[in-house]
Amino acid sequence: MSRIDALLSAMTIEEKIGQLNMVASTRAVTGPGDIREDDGSIRAGRIGSVLNLWGASDVRRAQRLAVKESRLGIPLLICHDVIHGHRTIFPVPLAEACAFDPHLWEKTARVAAQEASEDGITLTFAPMLDIGRDPRWGRIVEGPGEDPWVASQIARAKTIGYQGSDLASRQCIAATAKHFGAYGAVTAGREYASAEVSERTLREIYLPAFAAAIEAGVAAIMPAFNDIAGMPMTINAALLQGELRERLSFEGVVISDYNAIAELLNHGVARDIVEAASLALKAGVDIDMTSNAYLEGLPVALSRGLISIEEINASVRRVLILKERLGLFENPDRSAPPAVVTDATRHERRSLSREAARRSIVLLTNKDGILPLLNDIQRLALIGPLVDAREPMLGSWASAGHEEPILSISDGLRQALPTCHINVVSGVTIDGEGRKAIDEARACAQKAQVIILCIGENAEMSGEAASRVDIGLPGEQQALAQAMLSLGKPVIALLTSGRPLVAPWLFERADAVLATWSLGSEAGAAIADVVLGRFNPGGKLPVSWPRHVGQAPLYYSQRPTGRPTQVGVHYSSCYIDSPATPQFPFGHGLSYSVFTLHDLVCKTPLIKLNDRLQICVSVRNESAEAGEATIFFFIRDLVASVARPVLELKGVQKLYLEAGKCENIVWSLPARELAFVGQNLESVIEAGDFQIFVGQSAAPESLIVECFKVIL
Under a CB-based contact definition with an 8 Å cutoff, are residues 492 and 454 in contact? no
Q: Which CA distances in Å does 3 have to 76, 237, 320, 324, 330?
A: 16, 30, 9, 9, 12
Under a CB-based contact definition with an 8 Å cutoff, are residues 113 and 105 in contact? no
What's the burial of 43, exposed, middle or buried (CB within 10 Å: 0-12/13-18/19+)? middle
Supply the minimum distance, in Å, between the C-beta of residue 657 and ligand BGC: 40
What's the burial of 346, exposed, middle or buried (CB within 10 Å: 0-12/13-18/19+)? middle
**How many binding residues for ligand BGC (CB under 6 A)?**
8
Supply the minimum distance, in Å, between the C-beta of residue 49 and ligand BGC: 12
Spell 524-536 as b/e; 16+ CB within 10 A means b.
Answer: bbbbbbbbbeebb
Supply the minimum distance, in Å, between the C-beta of residue 139 and ligand BGC: 8
Supply the minimum distance, in Å, between the C-beta of residue 262 and ligand BGC: 13
User: Across the strands, what pairs with 380?
Assistant: 422, 450
Comparing CB distances to ligand BGC, the nearer of 355 and 464 is: 464
What's the burial of 390, exposed, middle or buried (CB within 10 Å: 0-12/13-18/19+)? middle
Of the residues 257, 275, 404, 648, which one makes contact with ligand BGC according to CB under 6 A: 257
CA 230 to chain centroid: 26
Rounded Cα–Cα distance for residues 273 and 654 (Å):
52
Comparing CB distances to ligand BGC, the nearer of 81 and 411 is: 81
3-state SS class at 117: helix
Comparing CB distances to ligand BGC, the nearer of 178 and 349 is: 178
Comparing CB distances to ligand BGC, the nearer of 143 and 385 is: 143
Comparing CB distances to ligand BGC, the nearer of 499 and 540 is: 499
Q: Does position 178 bind ligand BGC by CB under 6 A?
A: yes
Comparing CB distances to ligand BGC, the nearer of 80 and 414 is: 80
Q: Does position 30 bind ligand BGC by CB under 6 A?
A: yes
Under a CB-based contact definition with an 8 Å cutoff, are residues 65 and 42 in contact? yes
Under a CB-based contact definition with an 8 Å cutoff, are residues 189 and 136 in contact? yes
Comparing CB distances to ligand BGC, the nearer of 291 and 630 is: 291
Supply the minimum distance, in Å, between the C-beta of residue 257 and ligand BGC: 5
Supply the minimum distance, in Å, between the C-beta of residue 197 and ligand BGC: 19
Closest Cα to residue 89, out of 485, 522, 445, 409?
Answer: 522
Q: Taking the alpha carbons of 113, 117, 121, 122 in that order, is the dihedral positive or negative? A: positive
Of the residues 15, 21, 31, 652, which one makes contact with ligand BGC according to CB under 6 A: 31
> Helices 438-446 and 477-485, interaxial angle, to 10°?
30
Q: What track of x and - describes contact with ligand BGC for positions 489 through 518 (by CB under 6 A)?
A: ------------------------------
Q: What track of x and - describes contact with ligand BGC for positions 78 through 97 (by CB under 6 A)?
A: ---x----------------
Of the residues 137, 258, 517, 634, which one makes contact with ligand BGC according to CB under 6 A: 258
Comparing CB distances to ligand BGC, the nearer of 81 and 101 is: 81
Under a CB-based contact definition with an 8 Å cutoff, are residues 211 and 248 in contact? yes
Of the residues 125, 180, 517, 693, which one makes contact with ligand BGC according to CB under 6 A: 125
User: Across the strands, what pairs with 423?
Assistant: 381
Q: Does position 537 bind ligand BGC by CB under 6 A?
A: no
Rounded Cα–Cα distance for residues 241 and 238 (Å):
6
> How many residues does the structure list for the chain?
712
Supply the minimum distance, in Å, between the C-beta of residue 225 and ligand BGC: 6
Supply the minimum distance, in Å, between the C-beta of residue 81 and ligand BGC: 5
Of 221-250, binders to ligand BGC (CB under 6 A) are none
- Phi, psi (deg, nearest 5) at residue 618: -110, 145
Torsion of CA 451, 456, 458, 461, to 10 degrees: 170
Of 198-217, binders to ligand BGC (CB under 6 A) are none
Q: Does position 106 bind ligand BGC by CB under 6 A?
A: no
Q: Does position 54 bind ligand BGC by CB under 6 A?
A: no
Comparing CB distances to ligand BGC, the nearer of 30 and 572 is: 30
Comparing CB distances to ligand BGC, the nearer of 25 and 583 is: 25
Supply the minimum distance, in Å, between the C-beta of residue 141 and ligand BGC: 12
- Cβ contacts of residue 144 below 8 Å, gap of 6+? 93, 94, 97, 127, 128, 129, 130, 131, 132, 150, 151, 154, 155, 209, 542
H helices present in 70-165, as ranges: 93-97, 102-118, 148-163
257 is catalytic: yes
Supply the minimum distance, in Å, between the C-beta of residue 93 and ligand BGC: 12
The DSSP code sequence of 262-284 is TTHHHHTS-SSHHHHHHHHHHHT
3-state SS class at 213: helix
Comparing CB distances to ligand BGC, the nearer of 236 and 477 is: 236
Of 426-465, binders to ligand BGC (CB under 6 A) are 464
3-state SS class at 28: coil
Supply the minimum distance, in Å, between the C-beta of residue 289 and ligand BGC: 7
- Among 81, 257, 288, 529, which one carries the catalytic annotation? 257
Active centre residues (catalytic):
257
| Residues at the interface with ligand BGC (CB under 6 A) | 30-31, 81, 125, 178, 257-258, 464
